[in-house]
Chains A and B, each alone.
Chain A
Amino acid sequence: MKNTPIFIMLLIALTALMPQLNQYASGQVVVPPLSPLKFKQVAIEVKVVNTTYADIMMKAEIVNPSNQTLTYTVEINTPQPYVSYPFAADKTSPQPKMEIKVVSEKIGELKVTIDRYGNARATGSIEAKSEDAIHVEGWTFLAQTRRLIWRESIDGYIGFSIRPETGYRELEPPERSEAKVKFTYPAEYTKTDEASYKVEYLDGFKIIEYTEGFYGSFGLSFNTYRPRTPINSLTIFSGLWAVLVAFVIWTKRKKVEV
């Protein structure tokens, strides 16, 4: 008798779950269709000129093997300065400093919109059973949010993506392709995983090239740094310790006199 309410609750929960259980049992699970968008060749180039400026380039050859015209979105995400308050985020957010040009070989230049968070978007379309090549070119300001004292680092991440405009969340990612990535950065900087790549030097810059899996998007993290000598803060640091030592000696002498 004591267990009757628990039994009733279990019964109700089981009844509520029955439709879902039935769906799996009868094999009626909705499998999202694969995106028809395919990539033939993808080349990505990012040249970090200094801590605040980078050139961006991408060329992607896309194929639409389906029987319908497909609308796609090209998106570039760049690191932009963003200041937040502890209890009132979004209070200050300067306009992003970047310029992106997207050109489709078949339909010409696409209109690019840039939002306040540094995301540039352009929308184009590719006809059924056809191919196109999309060229992305531009530059961006790089926001440095980590202010290390003993290391000067170039932080940041640039994201590239090409995806079907509608319903991309429901769709599986496009087929895997290979993207050729070329990353150039000032020679005095070291990339944290530099040892894994063959590094070439050209005109005061280091160049690394590699291929990476491309499922419709790719993110390039910079993670480069160089050592620095903090003259100003070292002076204050020495001053603070000198004052502390002087204060301790003064206090000790004063107590001895008493």
Chain B
Amino acid sequence: MGFSVFKELFQFKWMKIAAAILLGGFFIGYNLAFLDFTWIPFPLLVPYLGRETALSYPYTPSLLDKLGYVQYTFAEAVVVLGGGVLIGLVTVGVLFILGLSIGSSLPAILEYSGALIIAQSVIFIILYVCSLIFLGASGLSLGSSILHLARDTAWRIDRRTYDSFLIGLLFLILAVAVEVL
């Protein structure tokens, strides 16, 4: 049952589009940061990763700071999902910028952090990227439905939009848990 849901989602058009936009941004961000184009201010958009990039000594953030990271992570996920109501345009933009942010943060973490921080960051990135792809697919599908509504005055929404949202939310909760650790 669970596997068939994933199989269906992998066939979902919006899922492929969301993944392409996010991973495209990630690819560009990673390559630019790897080639030392450090003028990119994007690591700050993902504060948890921005901290790992900026600090050069072991530092345990306070609970308040950790809640700050959670606040940002959650806000970004909300914008990715809710941006769908503007026929998906906001979702597309935010997915690309977040992909850039994550990609441009990673090389510095891999080079300058300890094994534990690298492991934590990589796990966070995987979970967060999965979450953004699923939520982005849901947002884009929602945008498509709104566009159809505007054209045909008929509300049609794909069932996979809900599945995608629920799975995205699950990954988001896991990513937040890794952040707070």
A interface residues, Cβ below 8 angstroms from B: 51-52, 81, 83-86, 88, 91-92, 94, 141, 143-151, 228, 230, 232-234, 236-237, 240, 244
Residue in contact with A143 in the complex, picked from B47, B56, B65, B111, CB distance below 8 Å: B56
A84→B44 CA distance, assembly (Å): 8
If A83-B51, A83-B54 touch, whether A237 touches B34 (CB-CB below 8 Å) is yes
B window 39-76: CB within 8 A of A: 41, 44-45, 47, 50-51, 53-57, 59, 61-62, 65, 68, 72
Closest to B118 in A: A232
Complex contacts, A149 vs chain B, CB 8 Å: 33-36, 107-108, 111
B interface residues, Cβ below 8 angstroms from A: 27, 30-31, 33-36, 38, 41, 44-45, 47, 50-51, 53-57, 59, 61-62, 65, 68, 72, 106-108, 110-112, 118
Closest to A88 in B: B68
Tell whether, in the assembled complex, residue B30 and residue A240 are in contact, meaning their CB atoms are under 8 Å apart: yes
Tell whether, in the assembled complex, residue B51 and residue A237 are in contact, meaning their CB atoms are under 8 Å apart: no
Tell whether, in the assembled complex, residue A151 and residue B54 are in contact, meaning their CB atoms are under 8 Å apart: no
Complex contacts, A143 vs chain B, CB 8 Å: 56
Q: Which 10 A-B pairs have the closest CB atoms?
A: A147-B108, A232-B110, A233-B107, A144-B56, A86-B44, A233-B110, A237-B34, A149-B107, A148-B36, A92-B65
A52→B112 CA distance, assembly (Å): 13
Complex contacts, B65 vs chain A, CB 8 Å: 91-92
A21→B54 CA distance, assembly (Å): 52
Complex contacts, B68 vs chain A, CB 8 Å: 85, 88, 91-92
Known A228-B111, A240-B27; further 8 A-B contacts with Cβ < 8 A: A81-B56, A81-B57, A85-B47, A147-B54, A230-B107, A237-B30, A237-B34, A240-B30
